[in-house]
């Protein structure tokens, strides 16, 4: 399994609008090959930052999503909320416990 973690700082005070757009976009793109699920987490010390974590069966399916659906659908809806600070990391899961992804 693979995970994609995006950390970002939003424009001040835009979290609620961003979260609503994120949920709406997430509801649309659930039928994607290799996609297992995602979560959105808000920083408890800085209300304008957070992470999105998505789970994938394979690296190839993750990369296909990044070049297709995400680029065409998700990014145009969400990029306007970012204050210019964000990073994306991809990881291979080496151990999982209690998440139900077996």
Instruction: Summarize pLDDT for 1-35 with one digit per residue, the tens.
Output: 999 999 999 999 999 999 999 898 877 666 789 99
In total, how many domains does the chain have? 1
70-94 pLDDT tens trace:
777 778 888 899 988 889 999 999 9
Higher per-residue confidence, 101 vs 55: 55
Q: What are the tokens at 69?
A: 């659906």
Taking phi first (over 0 means left), then psi (-120 to 50 degrees means alpha), and beta for anything else, what does residue 96 get?
Answer: beta
**Residue 86 forms part of a structural domain:** yes
Q: Residue 42 sits in which domain range?
A: 2-92
Q: What are the tokens at 51?
A: 């992470």
Q: Domain holding 73: CATH number?
A: 3.30.70.100
Distances (CA, A) of 68 to 13, 44, 61, 64: 30, 32, 10, 6
Q: What per-residue confidence (pLDDT) applies to 24?
A: 86
């Amino acid at each position: 399994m693979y995970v994609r973690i995006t950390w970002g700082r939003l424009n001040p005070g835009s979290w609620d609008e961003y979260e609503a757009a994120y949920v709406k976009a997430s509801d649309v793109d659930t039928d994607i090959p290799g996609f297992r699920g995602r979560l959105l987490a808000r920083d408890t010390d800085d209300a304008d930052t957070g992470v999105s974590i998505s789970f994938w069966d394979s690296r190839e399916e993750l990369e296909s999503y990044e070049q297709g659906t995400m680029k065409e659908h998700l990014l145009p809806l969400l990029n306007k909320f970012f204050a210019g600070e964000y990073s994306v990391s991809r990881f291979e899961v080496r151990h999982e416990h209690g998440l139900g992804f077996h």
